[in-house]
Structure 1
């Protein structure tokens, strides 16, 4: 087992991007240069400080078991370019994001997430097993693995759909109608890859725009 939880691949991380501009900006931040105090733990948390244009670095933390993201930057996109860059850095440079203890600012956010999770009703609550239950790093790792697997499956399905499109041509794609693309986009959402879902909807509009 990876001692710092699930390490997503570059493709899995980029599939989370909400749009192309975020994907490009996140890729530029996926190197060790702008980052400091980066680390990860076995429960699936990843954090780091990213140097920006201001005097203080942005505080970025990701819970890969959600996935969920927090960043002190003003971006309204989720995940923001800093969260994408941090996950890309972890995917490509094991030494840059090693096992560590979360700093106070990251632990505060992670602890708040754990408390909210514990307050939700679950199957163990009926027999007293839910309340006050401690976070299980192994269970968190398994959840992150399942989510990473869903993203991979969604990426593979989209690649197959595009391969079929290339074989059949745009004329055949237009005959199939937009519904097939919307169905594929919905499966990308189910695979927790909203960025890919957006791209699928854009591609679905192409056949109808041709003459």
Structure 2
């Protein structure tokens, strides 16, 4: 995703965002409105994604802002991998609080890298909804390989209910087969967390991973 374009929708172009939400709500098969499709950011996105480029017309590009999976389809696979690592850092920070072991610390550091690992320890608790913390920790703390893929599993749980078309657009194949059993409200909360991490509340020390 063009990060500046996404951020501008959330901050500077709220009127446009409102129009998109209204447009999607009123149409059975929502599409990206012309204001977005004609923007330079959107054109760069289309130029870089073969699947979208193959579609017969622009009107075939469905985009439902109220569906987390559809919003994530604007992210590249690399960005989704980076995002999954940030989510993994947040999850790992919760595990470390309850069960600190030297081997775990070393494992998390090596897998995430010092920058993202430190980010998780500093800010991880801010990004995991309180009522989900114990469920997430218990799901992954007993399985090191699952922990390594926990960020991917969280993302996977968010996109698992997407349509086949949206999943194809996302083209993201999680490393872990672990799935969290999340309700719609849980998915909404977790998606709000990803938006904060991706666009709004990233520490300066971590911003370079999106450059």
Is TM-score (shorter-chain normalized) higher than 0.5?
A: no
Radius of gyration: which is bigger? 1
What TM-score, normalized to structure 1? Answer: 0.28
TM-score calculated relative to the size of structure 2: 0.28
Of Structure 1 and Structure 2, which has the larger fraction of its residues in strand? 1
